[in-house]
Amino acid sequence: GQPAGDPEEHPVGEADLVTAGDRVLRFLEAKGFATKSEILRSNWRHISAFDLDIVLATFVSGNLVAERSQGNQILYYPIVQTRGVKP
């Protein structure tokens, strides 16, 4: 067992998840909105359904993405960011 807080505890795929998350965010920004199945259909080579759930939950918690129910589906929208804009 590793001691708590040991750097070895980080999952091996963490950097891959960041890359996949960036791809998902860019996909949403390009499309405007999408369902989880649409995101997965276009990105299945890069992210698993399990990891997509983690990425979307993280983005929603961090106010990068909003979710809205429409009928029996949940749509994900990018929240407009002011990237690179200096106050």
Model pLDDT, residue 72: 94
Q: Specify whether the CB–CB gap between 33 and 69 falls below 8 A.
A: no
pLDDT in tens, 32-87: 999 999 999 999 999 999 999 999 999 999 999 999 999 999 999 999 765 555 55
Cα 78 to its chain centre, rounded Å, is 10
From residue 79, alpha-carbon distances to 9, 11, 33, 37 in Å are 32, 28, 10, 20
Q: Specify whether the CB–CB gap between 39 and 32 falls below 8 A.
A: no
Query: Can you tell me the distance from the alpha carbon of 60 to that of 68, in angstroms, rounded to the nearest whole number?
Result: 11
Query: Can you tell me the distance from the alpha carbon of 62 to that of 80, in angstroms, rounded to the nearest whole number?
Result: 13
